[in-house]
Amino acid sequence: MKRSLLFLLTVCTFALTNCNGAVLIEAPEMKTVIMGVTDITVFWELNGVIEGRADFAGYNVYAYTDSTALLVDDGEDLNKFNSQIITDTIYWIRGLSQDSIYYLQVRTVNTEDKVGGYHGTVPFLKGSPRPEFTVSLYLADTVQTVNHSCALVFAGGAIAADSAMLESGSDMWVLLAQDSVWFCAPSIHPLYGAGGRETMFGGIGSGEFDSVSTVMAEPGSTQIMVLSGDMVVARSQDGNYVKIRVESIDLPAGAITVRFAYQNIAGFPYF
């Protein structure tokens, strides 16, 4: 009798395994995202245990505007973004809206085309495409009181003169003071600052533009000194986050070129 029960249990286990496919494979941990103008690139860990399995086929990537839709154990009914199974640990998601927040998720697929569950610790990452601009500004010299085109509107990248900062809704202006260059909030301009916007800045060292995608510390100063290659995070008066890279400074010409990404979703600290 015991042998019969053991045999029956073995047969049932074997049948369930084969009828329902191979055991679903756990998801890799997502590491970071890089946002572009209308795209997001998502990266996840290279996991030798996952990819070393004989039944591993690849990955699916999902981009939903509702995070709760992704928190299901069974991923079969989810709409994957990729048309083919992904065999790399990076995927470029294109054609996204700048006005939407996307929740990004990666799941494994086995050789029987069965989708695994989501990662238990990092079920998704957040991202939103954002406008990006490269502009050149003249450096203001408040000692000489020259009216320069030194002010910048983050939303749209428009440039304005000192005297037009208030009317233009400028978010920052650039100052040359004793051979040092400063990003400044309009509110602190000595001549045209009354009623100006109060932007806050925070330095995050030097580096490449795409090396920063998340605000790690709140900007806390209305002015900051910058050098060529520096990266700065700003927060507008309306709560929009901006990352700015100083591309070049030309002191003899009194000019600066900056590249910046403006997150047009207020309070969303990813860019």
pLDDT value of position 17: 39
pLDDT value of position 144: 72
Residue 176 has pLDDT above 50, yes or no: yes
**pLDDT tens track for 95-150:** 999 999 999 999 999 999 999 999 999 999 999 999 999 999 999 987 776 778 99
pLDDT value of position 22: 55
β-partners of residue 110 are 56
> What is 2-127's CATH number?
2.60.40.10
**pLDDT tens track for 82-91:** 999 999 999 9
Nearest to 31 by CA among 43, 46, 39, 48: 43
CA distance linking residue 194 with residue 255, whole number of Å: 25
**Per-domain residue ranges of the chain:** 2-127, 132-262
Mean pLDDT of 146-174: 94
Q: Which two tokens stand for residue 263?
A: 């997150």
At residue 62's C-alpha, the angle toward residues 128 and 243, to 5°, is: 20
Mean pLDDT of 42-69: 97
**In the chain, pLDDT over 70 holds for what percent of residues?**
92
